Amino acid sequence: MSDLADKVIRCCRDIAGMTEEPGRTTRTFLSPPMRDVHSYLRAWMQDLGMKVRIDAAGNIRGIHGDPGQPRIMIGSHLDTVPDAGAFDGILGVAIGIALVEMKPKTAVEVIGFSEEEGVRFRKPFIGSRALIGDTDWGDPAIDEAIRAYGLNPGELPAARFEPQNTAYLEFHIEQGPVLETLGLPLGVVDAIAGQSRYILTFEGRANHAGTTPMALRRDALVAAAHWITEVERYASAHQGLVATVGSLCVSPNAGNVIPGEVRASLDIRHASDAIRRHAATHLLSRASAPHEQLLDQNAVEMDAAMSHALAAAVASAGYPVHRMTSGAGHDAMVIAPHIPSAMLFLRSPGGISHHPDELALPEDVDAALETGIKCLTS
């Protein structure tokens, strides 16, 4: 392991300790520990002579080289899911700063996005949406959170990328088992699967668990359970489709009361937007429950020329080239329709992510750094 790879991993481990919940890593949009993250990254960037600012969306941004030169943006997100691992998101930011430490001749802007996961407000990609000028959140609480952090929502237009930003490159752990199964350290991402997210409300009637006969019950949780079984059956029957019910909110949530209401999440993903939307139509119709759509994100292709150059850099660094689709969403999918973008995955040992056991291997970080510096100098 090189000293620089060690520094990247140490950065990720250090920042994992900056959390809202003692004993586990949870860091949501502009929560108090984000100040510690900003301070940590600012210090590293400034040690390298970078010009650093926090924009009005809470993204930390450091520029290496002449600010007037064309530059490549390298970034990922700083927020986490609850009880997260140490590498999702922040690894890409740390690799970006480490590449600046390798003194590329290309001008670079490293961006740590304030939000990608959608945990605090159920609105993902707040940070990267601000970068492309999309700040119509539809939720005034987001602007209130920005003010509470000491930032000014009126300055959000200045968070948009500048004409000098000519390309975007994101490094990220795979968050799946493919690269490990193939025995490969890196993967070049050609496309990111589309996503649909919903909240459904199953309505029943709360009543006493001991005195209400089974035949006379309207149990909202039973209705939700039957539907969840259909979600699993349908997704398993369609190649490449994944569908997840990851959150249930049961009311009144008491052991001796029949559930009167259940709010359930639904997450559907596929590389084909047509297949994904057909699945959503089917599963929502089978629920017979009111629903709210939280996200309808099209599948996004990475820039062909940039992906080709990234693959060439992988090969030039001496590693096998594997091209793949990402099933997870990333900031690159928001940015790619506006700026030529590419993504490089690092293998996830055990295929584990969004979990404290999440890892990145030092030798894979070295491989990503070798590839990245070749890409910046090609």
314-342 tens-digit pLDDT: 999 999 999 999 988 899 999 999 999 99
Report, as an integer, the average pLDDT of 136-151.
Answer: 96
pLDDT at 1: 61
Alpha helices in the chain (DSSP H): 3-16, 33-47, 90-101, 126-131, 140-148, 178-182, 220-236, 273-287, 304-316, 331-335, 362-377
What is the pTM assigned to this prediction? 0.84
Q: Report DSSP letters for 88-115, one per residue.
A: TTHHHHHHHHHHHHT--SSEEEEEEES-
pLDDT at 356: 97
Count the alpha carbons within 13 Å of 148 in the hemisphere toward its beta carbon: 11
Domains and CATH numbers, the chain: 3-193+299-377 (3.40.630.10), 194-296 (3.30.70.360)
Per-residue pLDDT of 280-302, as tens digits, reads 999 999 999 999 998 898 999 99
% of the chain with per-residue pLDDT over 90: 94
| Average per-residue pLDDT for the chain | 96
Per-residue pLDDT of 28-54, as tens digits, reads 999 999 999 999 999 999 999 999 999
Q: Name the residue type at position 160.
A: R
Q: Is the alpha carbon torsion for 61, 64, 70, 72 positive or negative?
A: negative
Q: How confident is the model at residue 122 (pLDDT cuts 50, 70, 90)?
A: confident
Under 8 Å CB-to-CB from 51, ≥6 apart: which residues? 62, 63, 67
pLDDT at 186: 98
Name the β-bridge partners of 187: 345
DSSP symbol at 69: S
Report, as an integer, the average pLDDT of 264-274.
Answer: 95
Q: How confident is the model at residue 157 (pLDDT cuts 50, 70, 90)?
A: very high
DSSP symbol at 136: -
Per-residue pLDDT of 56-102, as tens digits, reads 999 999 999 998 899 999 999 999 999 999 999 999 999 999 999 99
pLDDT at 59: 98
Q: How confident is the model at residue 206 (pLDDT cuts 50, 70, 90)?
A: very high
Structure tokens at 284: 């929502």
Rounded CA separation 127/132 (Å): 9
